[in-house]
Amino acid sequence: MKVLTINSGSSSVKYQLIDTSTQQVLCKGLADRIGIPGTTLVHKRADGHTVQITNNINDHQSAIDRILEVIISPEHGVIDSLQEIQAVGHRLVHGGDKFHSSVLIDDAVMKKLYECIEFAPLHNPPNIKGVEASLNKLPHVPNVGVFDTTFHINMPDYAYTYGIPYKFWEAYGIRRYGFHGTSHYYVAHGQLKCSVGTSRN
């Protein structure tokens, strides 16, 4: 199975294409300075072949478009067709208290992602842009959201409660959520395996 992973930031998109049957990273790269003159896309294959493309990329949709183009290009690519991509995984920073596991992204999930923007206003909007760009370009494959916060979801209340008036938790959801969960999981378990569940009702 070939899985494309996307980490969409405010002005960059990191990606890898992984063959899960062999655990091999077929290619990886970074589109940097999105929306800024002189955008660079650095693409590296497993065999060491590397190309740097300099072009203006104005938004995340254009970045995803360029990434997919280079992945399937005869000169620099590693697959012949986008049809070979069987799933897309998105790194998402903050799922608030709405997501307790990785999720298959649908309209209901997208609505909740927008509701979580207030918890990470610098990170969640570009994460969402990456998801929307991928859904637009690869509507035929499952897109899965993997949240940094779900690794810490079983944190006990005495650990996640701040020493501030409890009304702020009740009114605004202010509590400790934990971050960088995907990295913590990898360090703790040596590999990343994310089960796909559902969002909290």
Sign of the CA dihedral with 89 first, then 90, 94, and 96 last: negative
Provide the pLDDT for residue 191: 58
User: What are the tens digits of pLDDT across the range 36-71?
Assistant: 888 899 999 999 999 999 888 989 999 999 999 999
Provide the pLDDT for residue 7: 94
Distances (CA, A) of 97 to 76, 94, 115, 132, 149: 42, 9, 11, 22, 9
Report the 3 state secondary structure along 32-62: ECCCCCCCEEEEEECCCCEEEEECCCCCHHH
The residue ranking higher by pLDDT, 153 or 17, is 17
How many helices (H) does the chain have, and how many strands (E)? Answer: 6, 9
The residue ranking higher by pLDDT, 154 or 136, is 136
pLDDT of residue 201 exceeding 80:
no
Cα gap 146→93, rounded to integer Å: 8
Catalytic residue among 47, 106, 148, 157: 148
pLDDT band of 181, cuts 50, 70, 90:
confident
Helix (H, G, I), strand (E, B) or coil at 180: coil
Q: Is 65 a catalytic residue?
A: no
pLDDT band of 196, cuts 50, 70, 90:
very low
- Average pLDDT of the segment spanning 87-103: 90
pLDDT band of 76, cuts 50, 70, 90:
very high
pLDDT of residue 200 exceeding 80:
no
Please give the model's pTM, rounded to 2 decimal places: 0.83
Closest CA to 175 of 183, 187, 167, 186: 167
Cα gap 151→145, rounded to integer Å: 13
- Average pLDDT of the segment spanning 121-139: 92
8 forms beta bridges with: 13
- Average pLDDT of the segment spanning 140-153: 89
pLDDT of residue 193 exceeding 70:
no
Residue type at 175 in one-letter notation? R
Average pLDDT, the chain: 88
pLDDT band of 195, cuts 50, 70, 90:
very low
Residue-range domains of the chain with CATH: 2-82 (3.30.420.40), 87-194 (3.30.420.40)
Q: How many residues does the chain have?
A: 201
The answer to whether residues 2 and 86 touch, using CB atoms and an 8 Å cutoff, is: yes
Cα gap 34→59, rounded to integer Å: 6
